[in-house]
Amino acid sequence: MARRIIIDKYEGNTHYNIHVIDSFGQEHHLGYYKNYSIYNIEKMAEEIWSNETKRDISPLSRAIKECIEIDKKNGILTGNRDGLD
């Protein structure tokens, strides 16, 4: 996956929300800035990219994911009146 820097407007266009995506697709939030410097953002992004590692999935997260897959396989999560399918 490609590395990216995402800069979005935030709070009525008065602040910028800045995220960095690493090569594993993991998102790192750098913060909210009223004013920012591209040089400083690139410097922070390069630091993240030089030290990036794939995060391990916790056993709890893995168990929840497997439960959801089992529920989908058995049809438990489809056809409900609540519309949360």
This prediction has a pTM of 0.58
Dig out the tokens for 14 from the structure.
């008065």
Using 50, 70 and 90 to split pLDDT, how confident is the model at 58? confident
Answer yes or no: is pLDDT of 42 > 80: yes
Rounded average pLDDT over 11-25:
86
Distances (CA, A) of 55 to 13, 22, 31, 84: 33, 11, 20, 29
| SS3 assignment, position 46 | helix
Of 80 and 40, more confident: 40
Sequence ranges of the domains in the chain: 4-74
Residue 85 has pLDDT above 70, yes or no: no
pLDDT at 61 over 70: yes
